Amino acid sequence: MAETINQWSVITIVISGLVLLLGVYFIKRGNREAHMRAMLTASALATIFLVLYLTRLGLGYEKKYVGPNHGAYIALLISHIILAAANLPLALLALWNAWKGLQAAGNLGNIDSPAARPYFAKHRAWVRWTVPVWIYVAVTGWIIYLLLGKYGEVIKGA
């Protein structure tokens, strides 16, 4: 049960990273509507990931790394945890500024209006951090999952 939840949490965070890249591709091509849909989908997937992850923690399922290069693994794990925690406020800021900007603009064709501009300027400034952090978290989450599949020992909640 806990292992299945673990698998699904990795699947959702990896797909959310892929949909995020799709959202970046759409906005680079000027397709705001598709960008908005992709980013809302990526955010929904990341929310599902968070629920699954917290459920797994609640079930007390944990694996210990027993493979080579323990120091490198710990460095990877710590960087992953810190950036995963940072990703939540970064994503909320991106969504908040986009939402406020859209409200001020009225529609996505009007984002250059003086009322909306400051929000989208902030949106653009913050997403410079949000996108790379999100991708790093998704990729390292997947790597950690693969490493624990090969070199992990269940220490709790088997």
Contact 101, 119 (CB under 8 A): yes
**Residue 39 engages ligand HEM in binding (rule: CB under 6 A):** yes
**Residue 133 engages ligand HEM in binding (rule: CB under 6 A):** no
**Residue 43 engages ligand HEM in binding (rule: CB under 6 A):** yes
**Residue 27 engages ligand HEM in binding (rule: CB under 6 A):** yes
The first and second tokens of residue 133, run together, are 């952090």
* Residue 63: Cβ-neighbour burial (10 angstroms; 0-12, 13-18, 19+): buried
* Distance (Å, whole) CA 151 – CA 145: 10
How many helices and strands, by DSSP H and E, does the chain display?
4, 2
Instruction: Kindly tell me which residue out of 59, 83, 95, 147 binds ligand HEM, with binding defined by CB under 6 A.
Output: 95
Q: Which stretch binds ligand HEM (CB under 6 A): 37-45, 81-89, 138-146, 150-158?
A: 37-45
* Smallest separation (angstroms) from ligand HEM to the CB of 108: 6
Instruction: Kindly tell me which residue out of 94, 137, 138, 148 binds ligand HEM, with binding defined by CB under 6 A.
Output: 94
Contacts with ligand HEM by CB under 6 A: the residue count is 21
Q: Which stretch binds ligand HEM (CB under 6 A): 29-37, 64-72, 81-89, 147-155?
A: 29-37
Nearer to ligand HEM, 61 or 120 (CB): 120
* Distance (Å, whole) CA 94 – CA 97: 5
b/e map of 7-40 (b: 16 or more CB within 10 Å)? ebbbbbbbbbbebbebbbebbeeeebeebbebbe
> Contact residues for ligand HEM (CB under 6 A)?
24, 27, 32, 35-36, 39-40, 43, 91, 94-95, 98, 102, 108, 111, 120, 123-124, 127, 130-131
